[in-house]
């Protein structure tokens, strides 16, 4: 079992990827120091600790362990500290399926969501269609994976809940800026209910950013892109 001493997280408040790590640490009741990465030029700490991707989050454990990439960090946290909530499914097949859908979210679905907010105007309609199509796929996945329970992970949130749930703040931003309803109670009833259950969890709600604050940040980024 890993030591709980000297645990640090380098991140930035609007990042859904940083949110993933915060939720995982909360589920395990691990105390840690949060180091806020400044907005603008990348800090020396970030460049030194993650020279490959130069992105947050970066996780520090002890004096010599430095880990990057949010889902890799979540996996590390779950395997290092066996106490507290179990994040990844214990069954090997269920674990593989959860990782498959988490990879889909990061590689396909979230880039479409970002394109609606930050991409060129002519591509936003196609982006909205891609996001909606993805939510339909995730609705079907939720029905199969949850097996009638509240969460993808069963009666308690797990790996895939964290992977998708971290994007909910930006999904709301996209709906607001694009004036579109993406998470629909009629089209995706399972995900709609899941969203309410997820954000109500104690280990989640303190890390979920306020929609208006995120909207303001997104608008600032959009203005910077224009200049």
Domain-located, residue 87: no
- Cα–Cα distance measured from residue 163 to residue 17, given in angstroms and rounded to the nearest whole number: 8
Domain-located, residue 147: yes
Q: Which two tokens stand for residue 186?
A: 């009629």
What whole-number percentage of the chain has pLDDT above 90? Answer: 91
- Cα–Cα distance measured from residue 157 to residue 204, given in angstroms and rounded to the nearest whole number: 10
Same domain, 112 and 210: yes
- Cα–Cα distance measured from residue 96 to residue 21, given in angstroms and rounded to the nearest whole number: 20
- Cα–Cα distance measured from residue 149 to residue 146, given in angstroms and rounded to the nearest whole number: 5
With a cut of 90, say whether residue 224 has pLDDT above it.
no
Q: Which two tokens stand for residue 140?
A: 């079907």
Tell me the residue range of the domain where 66 lies. 7-80
**CB contact set of 65 (below 8 Å; sequence gap of 6+):** none
State mean pLDDT over 179-192.
95
Provide the domain count of the chain: 2
pLDDT value for 101: 98
State mean pLDDT over 2-19.
93
Same domain, 122 and 218: yes
CATH number at residue 66: 3.40.30.10
Domain end marker among 80, 103, 134: 80
State mean pLDDT over 94-110.
98
Same domain, 103 and 192: yes
pLDDT tens digits, residue range 43-90? 999 999 999 999 999 999 998 999 999 999 999 999 999 998 999 999
Same domain, 23 and 59: yes
């Amino acid at each position: 079992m890993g030591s709980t001493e000297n645990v640090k997280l380098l991140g930035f408040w609007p990042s859904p990827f940083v949110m993933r790590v915060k939720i995982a640490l909360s589920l395990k009741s691990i105390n840690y120091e949060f180091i806020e990465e400044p907005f603008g030029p990348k800090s020396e700490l970030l460049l030194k600790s993650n020279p490959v991707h130069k992105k947050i989050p970066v996780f520090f454990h002890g004096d010599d362990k430095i880990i990057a990439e949010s889902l890799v960090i979540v996996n590390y946290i779950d395997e290092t500290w066996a106490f507290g909530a179990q994040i990844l499914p214990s069954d090997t097949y269920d674990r593989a399926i959860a990782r498959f859908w988490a990879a889909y979210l990061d590689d396909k679905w979230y880039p479409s969501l970002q394109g609606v907010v930050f991409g060129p105007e002519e591509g936003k309609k196609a982006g909205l269609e891609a996001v909606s199509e993805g939510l339909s796929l995730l609705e079907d996945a939720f029905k199969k994976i949850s097996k009638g329970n509240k969460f993808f992970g069963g009666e308690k949130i797990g790996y895939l809940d964290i992977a998708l749930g971290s994007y909910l703040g930006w999904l709301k931003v996209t709906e607001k800026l694009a004036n579109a309803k993406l998470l629909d109670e009629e089209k995706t009833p399972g995900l709609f209910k899941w969203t309410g259950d997820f954000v109500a969890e104690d280990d989640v709600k303190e890390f979920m950013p306020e929609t208006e604050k995120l909207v303001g940040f997104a608008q600032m980024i959009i203005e910077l892109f224009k200049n």
